[in-house]
Amino acid sequence: MTGQCNRGSDLAPYDMHAFDLVVGATFTASALAAPLAETGDLTRTARSTGFVAARDLLPFLMNGRLAGAASLLVMLRPSDLIGANQLDQPDAVSQLTENMQVYVDALARLQVRTGARCCLLVVPAPHAPDNPAALSYRRACDALAVPASVRSIDWQAFAGKAGTVRIFDPIADKLGQVPFTTQCLQALARHITAELCCAPDGQVATAASAAPAQAPAPCAAPAAAPDTAAFARFLGRLRLRVVCRPMTTEDSGFAARLAHTAATFHASANKLTEADFGALMTDADIGVLAIEVSDRFGSYGPSGFVVMRRGAAPLVEEFVVSCVVLGKQVEHVVLLALARAVRNAGASALRLRCVSQDGSQVAQWLHDLEAACPDGAVRESANELRFEPAALADAILASAPGREALEQIPIALPPGFFGGRA
């Protein structure tokens, strides 16, 4: 069985726990589906194969779901991660290396989080070996740090086995399709199969030996404690930027769709409509913020929203963050900024409303923050928490991985949004 997750919910593209083998690439890789299916040996280790779209690859690595017995193959092509016009810049190699390292670090963290078997294949660009661009790509790859927990598949070994097979299809590549010829796809499928069917000890792996008797939960427990220093470096490389601005009528369509599809970080679970947002934006006692996120790879556009009722103790009635940017600590950055802004405005408390629901991370996160500041948090009802703003800010920093990097992430809030100094 092969497939791609649908987009029925905000989480759907990142939920791949139903597949034994997941393939993701910085280019279109789904053309490998048929060649992989035709390679009989693969059925010993992977009865079903799923593909992650190129646009979803980094968010999937940061927030995706895999079964612990699954295998994940990530294919990175350096030319996809830097513009051709940037290769002439003096720092082109270091920038490309950092871009690639972000993906590798995210892959390593996914391996720790899920226990899945993770493999990396770096695919060269179709340039002559002495081409300046090819030299830059090679230098960047040489500087890449791949942790031992990620298995590297050697492209040169594959090219040697492929022999006279023509590798690249430049016409398909220019059309934005898979960059390999049909013959290369078939040879690559056989090579991938050989790598995946070889266990770490060199023995042949089978589905029975590779998988436990009972499949793990979709979100498996981490195999090891997270490396907070490594995560801080990851966040630093990502160059995350967050902007919270007053929502406009042009944002209401996106916000309404997100209110209906957000599955992981949706505090109230309310299915707000465009009309609801229109009414909220005209209420003088309500502030509505659109959250925009960008990083070194570009802008994600509107990525969430906050609805706050103003007052002596402002109440966050709605707090939604898209799954596309989860894992980048956006929720921590936003709530930290809100807590500090409320404190600076002279408010006595910041209240948050949250409904516990299946699959939601918000309730557990707020519960952890409540536990982290016992003297500064009061549960006013089953669905509402009251925090002393300074205590909440301290709890967010204490509980978030990569505290130093979190402090450095720039965020903009509209002046006067809280009725005081922001």
pLDDT tens by residue, the chain, 422 residues: 455 543 434 445 578 888 889 999 998 888 888 898 887 554 454 568 899 988 889 989 988 888 877 899 999 998 888 877 777 788 889 989 999 999 999 999 899 888 999 999 999 877 666 677 778 888 889 899 999 999 999 998 998 888 888 888 877 666 656 678 889 999 999 998 888 876 554 443 433 333 333 333 333 333 344 567 778 888 888 899 999 999 999 999 999 999 998 878 999 999 999 999 999 999 999 999 999 999 988 898 899 999 999 999 999 999 999 988 888 899 999 999 999 999 999 999 999 999 877 667 888 888 889 999 888 899 999 899 999 999 999 999 988 877 888 888 999 888 877 654 33
CATH number belonging to the domain at 235-412, selected among 3.40.630.30, 2.60.40.1110, 3.30.530.80, 3.50.50.60: 3.40.630.30
Residues of the chain with CATH 3.40.50: 2-223
The closest alpha carbon to 113, from 46, 74, 65, 78, belongs to 65
* Structure confidence at residue 47 (pLDDT): 65
Q: Token pair 């034994």 is at which residue?
A: 20
Q: What is the pLDDT of residue 128?
A: 61
Pairing verdict, β 241-246 and 411-412 = parallel
Using DSSP's 3-state secondary structure scheme, residue 247 falls into: coil
Looking at the chain, the domain(s) classified CATH 3.40.630.30 span: 235-412
For position 360, what pLDDT does the model report?
72
What are the backbone dihedrals phi and psi of residue 89, each rounded to the nearest 5 degrees, phi first? -75, 150
On whether the CB atoms of residues 61 and 107 are closer than 8 A, the answer is yes
Contact 46, 117 (CB under 8 A): no
The pLDDT of residue 3: 52
The pLDDT of residue 134:
79
The per-residue pLDDT for 175 is 64
CA 276, CA 130: separation in Å to the nearest integer? 60
pLDDT value of position 391: 95
| Of 61, 64, 70, 57, the residue nearest 19 (C-alpha) | 70
State which fold the 2-223 domain adopts: Rossmann fold (3.40.50)
| End-to-end Cα distance, the chain | 53
Per-residue pLDDT at 41: 54
Q: Which among 25, 97, 106, 19 is positioned nearest to 325, based on CA atoms?
A: 106
CA angle 191, 194, 196 (to 5 degrees): 110
Distance between CA atoms of residues 411 and 341, nearest Å:
12
> Position of tokens 């802004």?
341
Residue 27: CB atoms within 10 Å: 19
Q: How many angstroms separate the most distant Cα atoms in the chain?
A: 74
